[in-house]
Amino acid sequence: MTILLSEIDLEVKEILQEEIERQQNTLTLIPSENYPSRAILEAQSSVLNNKYAEGYPGKRYYQGCKTADKIEKLAIERAKQLFKGEHINVQVHSGTGANMAVYQALLKPGDKILSLNLFHGGHLSHGGKGTFTYNHYQIINYGLDRDSETFNYEEIERIAKLTHPQLIIVGASAYPRAIDFRPWRKIADEVGAYLLADMAHIIGLIAAGVHPDPVPYADVITATTQKTLRGPRGGLIICKKKYASSIDKAIFPGTQGGPFMHVIAAKALCFKEACQPEFKDYQKQIISNAKTLAETLKNEEFRLVSGGTDNHLMLVDLSDKDITGDKAATILEEAGIIVNKNSIPFDKKPPSITSGIRPGTPALTTRGMGNSEMRLIGEWISKILYNPHDRNIRRKIKKEVEEICKEFPIYEGLK
Ligand code: DSN
């Protein structure tokens, strides 16, 4: 039982080693990615992986759940301390799973969901074509205001009053501005809808108190733990007490089987880390870094959707440049700068091509990079995108990227 991966499967071992090197030697600007602590990775690969614990603490369908109960209770207790939510479910495997469980708990098939258009920054699980949500509910979309490229509350209210959705979703995967939850609550109350805040991207900022808190306003909040919260890959649901039983039942047995107890152990640790004062500093620096990167790109004559950022990401509009989002992401990768292509509001190009990229700063901030590194990276991005046909520029920058990566190791000594 003590056989190590390197002793039995060199093929897998080598691929994992290659990924360690890729992460170490490139600059991750994908805003949904991050580097959790080694301790979180350790908890996530612990023997709790081996335990089935269907049910909830004290009410399991399997024997041998004493430590499973302990760890799940601890995770819930810590999450409650962090978010001040009335009820928390830590079993949910992912953000999409969390949203599906909310629909199952609060809606009937065919009910109406009002959510942000996917191509204006919404998320697939809010009702994108081809999804379970799209097939089982009536999806109505609001978009962003054409001029400000932010939420237009009068328009959202008008659509809500016209269509009477049972559920309104506030939340996005590509929205660079801070969200005020009060108008959302008001609109939901006016039409008698539930309000779901999908905070997957900004939950770390919320935990640290550097972004407005949805907890007093939303009926349910869904999130992921691996993004700005810098935990294991997983989900999280916070809700009012009156929905506790429906939400828990919608997770198990509704949409999931056995909880991933090893991931719950890692979530417990993630919530502890997020309660530390350093975590608040980290979140503040994420925003500060994003603002610096945004300013640098603006100085280089790139247009940013909505004019800038209040959070961890920005959307760069490339439609006035000689390059698509797809091509931009590809050539940036050649220089070791990892971003994702992204549709911008009112994009004329399809989602496989796009006119934008969506850089974000959580991962680089975890590495310890600060404002001066952001300026440098912004200038590299600019140089590469203004010279898409010049391979030499990319080769030269790749070397500089590798140098800076050495200065900011992701995991000291990880093999
Ligand atoms: N795919 C994630 C993102 O990158 O935003 C959201 O689920």
Domains of the chain: 41-274 (3.40.640.10), 280-407 (3.90.1150.10)
**Quick one: pLDDT at residue 414?**
75
* CA 407 to centroid of ligand 1, rounded, Å: 28
Distance 284 CA to ligand 1 centre (A): 21
Please give the Cα distance from 237 to 223 (Å, whole number). 6
Catalytic residue numbers, as ranges: 52, 54, 198, 224, 227, 233
Nearest residue (by CA) to ligand 1, atom 2, is 32
Specify the pTM: 0.97
Structure tokens at 331: 């050539």
Determine whether the shortest distance from the Cβ of 95 to ligand 1 is under 6 A: yes
260 by Cβ neighbours in 10 Å (0-12 / 13-18 / 19+) ranks as buried
Per-residue pLDDT of the chain (415 residues; tens, 9 = 90+): 678 999 999 999 999 999 999 999 999 999 999 999 999 999 999 999 999 999 999 999 999 999 999 999 999 999 999 999 999 999 999 999 999 999 999 999 999 999 999 999 999 999 999 999 999 999 999 999 999 999 999 999 999 999 999 999 999 999 999 999 999 999 999 999 999 999 999 999 999 999 999 999 999 999 999 999 999 999 999 999 999 999 999 999 999 999 999 999 999 999 999 999 999 999 999 999 999 999 999 999 999 999 999 999 999 999 999 899 999 999 999 999 999 999 999 999 999 999 999 999 999 999 999 999 999 999 999 999 999 999 999 999 999 999 999 999 999 877 6
Expressed in angstroms and rounded, the spacing between residue 30 Cα and the centre of ligand 1 is 9
Q: 3: CA distance to ligand 1 center in Å?
A: 35
Instruction: Decide: 91 in ligand 1 pocket, CB within 6 A.
Output: no
Distance CA 269, CA 236 (A): 14
Q: Is 173 in the pocket of ligand 1 (CB under 6 A)?
A: yes
Q: Is the peptide bond before 253 cis (omega within 30 degrees of 0)?
A: yes
Question: For 312, phi and psi rounded to 5 degrees?
Answer: -95, -5
pLDDT on residue 8: 94
Q: Of the candidates 252, 224, 299, which has an alpha carbon nearest to the alpha carbon of residue 68?
A: 252
- CA-to-CA distance for 87 and 247, rounded, in angstroms? 9
Cα–Cα distances (Å) from 62 to 54, 57, 237, 298, 375, in that order, read: 7, 11, 24, 57, 54
H/E segment holding residue 356: strand 356-357
CA 223 to CA 245: how far, in whole Å? 19
Taking the CA of residue 340 as reference, the ligand 1 atom at the shortest distance is 4
Name residue 373's amino acid.
E
What are the residues whose beta carbons fall under 8 Å from the beta carbon of 149, sequence distance 6 or more? 305, 306, 307, 345
Interatomic CA distance for residues 50 and 62, integer angstroms = 13
**CB of 125 sitting under 6 A from ligand 1:** no
**What's the pLDDT score for residue 413?**
75
Q: Is the CB of 222 under 6 A from ligand 1?
A: no
Q: Does 32 sit in the ligand 1 pocket, CB within 6 Å?
A: yes
Alpha-carbon span 43 to 399, nearest angstrom: 35
- The phi, psi pair for 89, rounded to 5°, reads -110, 120
Name the residue of 116, 123, 133 whose CB sits within 8 Å of the most ligand 1 atoms, as the mutation to test its pocket.
123
d(CA 153, CA 159): 10
pLDDT of residue 2: 75
From the CA of 201, give the closest atom in ligand 1.
5
Ligand 1, atom 1, residue with closest C-alpha: 32
